[in-house]
Amino acid sequence: MWPGSGGRMVTDLSELLAVKHHGNGISSAELAEFHQALANAGKERFVGVGSQQYESLKGQKFETMSSKQLTDELIEELIDVQNYVTMLAIKVIAALSRGK
């Protein structure tokens, strides 16, 4: 869940046909629709919580950051992604183990 979304984005994404048809065959159009929805969610992050965190009267925070600073920010985000993948892997493996 994204901060401030109240779970709305996740709920909205769960209504898409790619999610509903998962395991029974997803068409290319349904996959593209889901891809676009994720892109739109990213756009909402830019104008929502992202604008609160990164926009100033001078523009966007990244505009004044050096490439090293921006790379450091990216590495921190990638570490967060790895942490979420680790936590999700534990949940999936535990669920599969219970199914044996």
**pLDDT at residue 31 above 50?**
yes
Binned at pLDDT 50, 70 and 90, residue 11 comes out as confident
Q: Is the separation of the CB atoms in 50 and 5 below 8 Å?
A: no
Binned at pLDDT 50, 70 and 90, residue 2 comes out as very low
CA 15/CA 22 separation, integer angstroms: 12
Top-confidence residue, 7 or 24 = 24
The whole model's pTM is what?
A: 0.66
CA 7/CA 43 separation, integer angstroms: 16
Rg of the chain over all Cα atoms, to the nearest angstrom:
18
What pLDDT, in 10s, does the model give residues 45-76?
A: 899 998 999 999 999 999 999 999 999 999 99
